Amino acid sequence: MKKPMKKKSAVCEIFYINEKNVKAVQKEMKPDGVFVKVAQTFKALADLTRSKIIFALYKKELCVCDLAAILNISQSAVSHQLRILRNLNLVKYRKEGKIVYYSLDDKHIGNLFEECLRHVGEK
């Protein structure tokens, strides 16, 4: 008869602080305000509709009407989500005549989203 395998614990069995590692990380630690912005960015991306908008804008510059058609939701719903993304500096817009085109605010947003897609195994 086989012995049941002992379940491994995911916590330390002793209390030990590696002072060198702690000091190195503390030296590089960012101010709380930076982490608030990071958390807000991930919170914005945690919404399904906003993630789809980011993906669409990662592919092409689009207007609200285009996004509404792609996502099959109302223009007002798209505008509401774009306002949130704009306030977090994730998207920007430019006006051409009577049409407003949206795009990702900078390449970092695209890189972040691409890394997320790679992480979940979809590209």
- Average pLDDT over all residues of the chain: 92
Q: Above 90 in pLDDT, residue 18?
A: yes
Residue 62's nearest CA partner among 88, 37, 85, 39 is: 85
- The tokens describing 26, both together, are 């503390």
Q: Name the CATH architecture for the domain at 45-120.
A: Orthogonal Bundle (1.10)
**For the chain, where are the alpha helices, taking DSSP H only?**
19-28, 32-45, 48-59, 64-71, 75-87, 107-120
pLDDT at 49: 97
Q: Tens digit of pLDDT for each residue in 43-56?
A: 999 999 999 999 99
Q: Is 33 helix (H, G, I), strand (E, B) or coil?
A: helix
Name which of 38, 52, 49 is nearest 89 in CA terms: 38
Would you list the domain boundaries of the chain? 45-120
